[in-house]
Amino acid sequence: MQEKLIRSWCKANGHKLIRVESDNGKSGTLPDAERPSLLAVLKAVDTGEADGVVISSMDRLARLLHVQEAILGKVWQAGGHIFSVDAGEVTADDPDDPMRTAMRQMASVFAQLDRAMIAKRLRNGRAEKAARDGFAYGSPPFGWRAENGQLVPVDDEQTARERILTLRAAGQSVRAIADTLTAEGHKPKRGGAWHPETIRRILTRAD
The residue ranges of every structural domain in the chain are: 2-105, 132-206
- CB–CB of 7/19 below 8 Å? no
> pLDDT tens across 37-96, in order?
889 999 999 999 999 999 988 888 888 888 899 999 999 999 999 999 988 999 999 999
- CB–CB of 161/202 below 8 Å? yes
| pLDDT surpassing 70 at residue 132 | no
Give every CB contact of residue 190 below 8 A, 6+ residues apart in sequence: none
- What pLDDT, on the 0 to 100 scale, is given for residue 126? 64
Distance between CA atoms of 73 and 128, rounded to whole angstroms? 42
Nearest CA to 87 among 13, 184, 189, 30?
A: 13
> pLDDT tens across 93-116, in order?
999 999 989 998 898 888 888 878
Across 141-160, average pLDDT: 83
Domain 2-105 has CATH 3.40.50.1390: yes
Give every CB contact of residue 206 below 8 A, 6+ residues apart in sequence: 161, 164, 165
Nearest CA to 53 among 66, 35, 26?
A: 35
| pLDDT surpassing 60 at residue 131 | no
Distance between CA atoms of 187 and 159, rounded to whole angstroms? 10
Architecture of domain 132-206: Alpha-Beta Complex (3.90)
| pLDDT surpassing 70 at residue 184 | yes
